[in-house]
């Protein structure tokens, strides 16, 4: 397993567009809590405090940018901001930056590459990196990173209406393209009452389009709608 002493951070810093003056910040930003359970001699803390700071910096930079550049109503700007800073968007940016090989994780977490938990680990690492850049390079360094990698995705989000929740997008597109309103059915429930897993199908008329799962019916419906958008190739018009 990789240890932080073996990592060369220069390629990642080049991709980030930021060179850390104090390397402890980038190491801490990439250290997941689970890593410390197996490396009790690790000299740095895990990244949750940096994530807390980075989340606040990210929200303020994005909010300021939207306020200064778009005269839209508050409700629309709120939806745009949510689409810019949500876990799926941030995890996608982490993948684009090829973060994964630099994450310091436990053996178990390192193996679990395709789960929802990994998406949140990647998203949280982006927020931690923002917090780390803010501490190492102050406001301007963090702002430049957010402008380059997060605010730059806004035109794509607006063009493809990704600020609208997946269920609404799927319904709007189905009605526009097919004059059909989707309906959702629970296909399966598993697990005890306190920890249920729901599997839901989204249908157009009687045709099953896609399936999604989640710990609530609403979460499963959203997952099914997201899958339906992919199946129908309706994410990009």
Task: Indicate which residues carry an active-site annotation.
Answer: 55, 127
First to last CA, the chain: 43
Q: Please, are residues 153 and 147 in contact by the beta-carbon 8 Å criterion?
A: no
Separation between Cα atoms, residue 86 and residue 29, nearest integer Å = 18
Q: Pick the closest to residue 94 from 116, 62, 117, 120 (CA basis).
A: 120
Q: Pick the closest to residue 16 from 149, 105, 118 (CA basis).
A: 149
Separation between Cα atoms, residue 110 and residue 79, nearest integer Å = 33
Q: Pick the closest to residue 25 from 142, 141, 149, 134 (CA basis).
A: 134
Separation between Cα atoms, residue 128 and residue 54, nearest integer Å = 5
Find where tokens 């930003």 sit.
Answer: 29
188: β partners:
199
């Amino acid at each position: 397993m990789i240890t932080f002493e073996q990592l060369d951070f220069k390629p990642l810093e080049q991709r980030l567009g930021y060179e850390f003056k104090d390397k402890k910040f980038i190491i801490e930003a990439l250290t997941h809590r689970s890593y410390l359970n197996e490396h009790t001699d690790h000299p740095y803390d895990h990244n949750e405090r940096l994530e807390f700071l980075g989340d606040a910096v990210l929200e303020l930079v994005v909010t300021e940018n939207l306020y200064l550049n778009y005269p839209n109503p508050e409700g629309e700007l709120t939806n745009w901001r949510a689409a810019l800073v949500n876990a799926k968007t941030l995890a996608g940016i982490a993948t684009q930056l090829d973060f994964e090989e630099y994450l310091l994780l436990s053996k178990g977490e390192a193996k679990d590459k395709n789960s929802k938990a990994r998406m949140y680990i990647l998203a949280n690492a982006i927020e931690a990196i923002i917090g780390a850049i803010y501490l190492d390079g102050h406001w301007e360094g963090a702002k430049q990173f957010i402008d380059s990698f997060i605010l730059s995705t806004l035109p794509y989000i607006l063009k493809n209406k990704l600020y609208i929740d997946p269920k609404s997008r799927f319904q709007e597109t189905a009605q526009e393209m097919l004059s059909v309103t989707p309906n959702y059915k629970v296909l399966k429930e598993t697990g005890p009452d306190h920890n249920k897993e729901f599997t839901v199908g989204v249908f157009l008329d009687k045709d099953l389009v896609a399936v999604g799962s989640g710990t609530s019916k609403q979460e499963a419906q959203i997952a099914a709608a997201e899958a339906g958008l992919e199946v129908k190739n309706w994410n990009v018009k």
